[in-house]
Amino acid sequence: MAKQFKDDVLTRRTFAIISHPDAGKTTLTEKLLLFGGAIRDAGTVKGKKTGKFATSDWMEIEKQRGISVTSSVMQFEYNGCRVNILDTPGHQDFSEDTYRTLTAVDSAVMIIDSAKGIEEQTLKLFKVCRMRGIPIFTFINKLDREGRAPLELLAELEEVMGIESYPMNWPIGMGKEFLGIYDRFYKRIEQFRVDDEHRYVPLNENGEIDGEHNLKNSGLYDQTLEEIMLLNEAGNEFSKERIANGELTPVFFGSALANFGVQTFLETYLQFAPSPQARNSSEGEIDPLSEDFSGFIFKIQANMNPAHRDRIAFLRVCSGKFERGMTVNIPRLGKTIKLSQSTQFMADDRSTVEEAVSGDIIGLYDPGTYQIGDTLTVGKNNFQYERLPQFTPELFVRVTAKNVLKQKHFHKGIQQLVQEGAIQLFKTVKTDEYLLGAVGQLQFEVFEHRMKNEYNTEVLMERLGSKITRWIENDEEINENLSNSRSLLVKDRYDKKAFLFENDFALRWFQEKNPDVELFNPMDQY
């Protein structure tokens, strides 16, 4: 095996940042890119504050410039590593694609706002990372502001998320009294808002500052030492293996906005984050160092401009090397195609990519060939990577064709968009009505738009609001009369039956009345 190729793969670090809107994802990403030299000025990675990702504007932008792939994938080099950060859109742009992006990374960085603790969207994304058993690194942000007590935040992490934590560093005060972080890993104190020369204060083997120091005059220093003692005695032990297995999350404190603790975080992260991992396929695990190119499609971004029907399919390279112009197999179709148009992404512009190796993400021009989950291989290889997980939809609409004469187009459009993975389709068992399920509102909007522009069909969508979906074990035996408006019996696209419950209460009530019916949520099974 070429040494260069092996080095290239082993130095890749591919991750996504998971967080709730406003926790600081954009700010942290920007700081990471600044360290990596990928951007020169803050403000290049535009968040929703500029309206760039707000749904309405997004549609407008799509219209103006064709496909928008802005900041879908950001790449930079640091300390000999090639870092790929995948964007996980939040707010109105939250969709199944956001979840699927997490199937294409080898680790995740979770940002928590120290004043808010664990919030809803973070928890959802965390669960998907858990399903995949990938390592999770936690950055507790906004220490320059008053927040919750650090010990309380750790307790919440363990209770709500069920993951053990190891604080790599610990804050000394917070808000106006924030003095810095006590670094357990590098055995030093990093002072906040102190010039570079005096920033780091070394600790002796007892974990204390030798001799005189300003910090010692603050009561916060003693308090920190006490808390560190507590962590040393009662906290979890550091374990590289448990971090790699996703059982223990290293926790870092800092302030993305003040660019404090970010560099330490990045450097430590790169040491412990995994290089590209092997993936399961129909022919067993595929080694990322194997020389034959392979990968899978985890996201398809449709062009919202009717004049340009093309889409971009995002591919995660899982083995070997991608070269522009190469011929690949799509085992699902039993077809070979030449990959002549490919792109790589970086903040505001796209450039043609000539080469990419395991761990990298590339965008492929898609004239309508690909489906989400497709595997690409070369030569005689015909294996397929494991099917991507099905994500539990939470929002539903009832859908019909506006013009009854367009039924044929309507069905064709729905079938294709469902197959492509844009939206989930259900049918009510008793009345055969079509329901669409999604994890984010944007999916419905994209569906409506594409039905109109690609299948020439206007649709009527009646909002049913949020529902709790639970599939049924032994669903052939289910009594169809249990279906009513609060617990609606439906079939998914594979004809598996599920109930859509109006709310938690309806779910609990149903379970009490029907203890023999076994319900499950595929996202809870891990």
Query: Cα–Cα distances in Å, from 345 out to 69, 295, 444?
Result: 7, 17, 26
Helical axes 441-455 vs 55-65, angle rounded to 10°: 30
Q: Which of residues 128-187 bind ligand GDP (CB under 6 A)?
A: 141-142, 144-145
Considering the complex, state which of residue 24 and residue 246 has its C-beta at the smaller distance from ligand GDP.
Answer: 24
Distance CA 436, CA 433 (A): 10
219 marked among binding-site residues = no
Residue 408, marked binder: no
User: Minimum Å distance from CB 394 to ligand GDP?
Assistant: 21
> Least distance (Å) from ligand GDP to the CB of residue 139?
10
Asked if residue 118 lies in contact with residue 157, where contact means CB atoms within 8 angstroms, the answer is yes
- Shortest approach of ligand GDP to residue 405 CB, angstroms? 45
Of the candidate residues 10, 22, 475, 519, the single one contacting ligand GDP (CB under 6 A): 22
Select the span of 15-23, 164-172, 208-216, 239-247 touching ligand GDP (CB under 6 A): 15-23
Q: How far apart are CA 454 and CA 449, in angstroms?
A: 8
Q: Quote the least distance from Cβ 190 to ligand GDP, whole Å.
A: 15
Question: Is 249 annotated as ligand-binding?
Answer: no
141 is in an annotated binding site: yes
23 annotated ligand-binding residue: yes
Number of chain residues interacting with ligand GDP (CB under 6 A): 18
User: Do 26 and 45 form a contact (C-beta atoms < 8 A)?
Assistant: yes
Identify residues 37-56 at the interface with ligand GDP (CB under 6 A).
Answer: 47, 49
Distances in whole angstroms, Cα of residue 462 to Cα of each of 263, 435, 436, 457, 485: 49, 9, 10, 16, 15
24 is in an annotated binding site: yes
Q: Is the CB of residue 139 less than 8 Å from the CB of residue 110?
A: yes
374: contact with ligand GDP by CB under 6 A? no
DSSP secondary-structure letter at 27? H
Pick one of 122, 224, 255, 424: the residue that binds ligand GDP (CB under 6 A).
255
- Looking at beta carbons only, is 25 or 82 nearer to ligand GDP? 25
Backbone angles phi, psi at 64, to 5 degrees: -70, -45
The residue among 300, 319, 299, 317 whose CA lies nearest residue 309 is 300
Query: In the complex, what is the shortest distance from the CB of residue 119 to ligand GDP, in angstroms, rounded to a whole number?
Result: 10
User: Is 20 assigned a ligand-binding role in the annotation?
Assistant: yes
| Helices and strands counted in the chain (H then E) | 12, 31
Binding site for ligand GDP (CB under 6 A): 19, 21-27, 47, 49, 141-142, 144-145, 255-258
Annotated binding site for GTP: 19-26, 87-91, 141-144
